[in-house]
Amino acid sequence: MGLLRYQSTTGLAADQIEELVARVWQITYCTRKRGRPPVLGLYRAVALTLVYVRQNLNQAAVGHLFGVSQQTLSIIYRKMLQLIGQALSNIQKAHRALGCPGSAWFNALVTLLMNNAH
């Protein structure tokens, strides 16, 4: 399956999701574990988390959209929410150090995650 267009369901454009995925990848690269490959790749795991937070659907419905069980979605969501939060914190620290406000998409994402996290 090719990449789905997630803008309508996440509120972020593809390049914004890619930037967020790159930030999460930077966090996970040094700490990744060997063993069984993940059920979803990093891009789809981040997209799953964003869809779940923004759309306020139940886990079974979002899991069905991504081809995973509710239990798997729950595991992915908890891990990705933590990593996305860490990535956003790192971005926020960098913005403060440079003395500049965050970009509009960054601020919108922070607001979305803080207001709608389950």
pLDDT per residue, tens digit, the chain (118 aa), is 344 566 666 777 778 888 889 999 988 876 666 777 888 999 999 999 988 988 888 999 999 999 999 999 999 999 998 898 888 887 777 767 766 666 666 666 666 666 655 5
The answer as to whether 13 is a domain residue is yes
Whole domain around residue 30: which residue ranges? 7-116
Number of domains comprising the chain = 1
The answer as to whether 56 is a domain residue is yes
The answer as to whether 31 is a domain residue is yes
The answer as to whether 1 is a domain residue is no
DSSP string covering 56-91: ---HHHHHHHHT--HHHHHHHHHHHHHHHHHHHHHH
The answer as to whether 2 is a domain residue is no
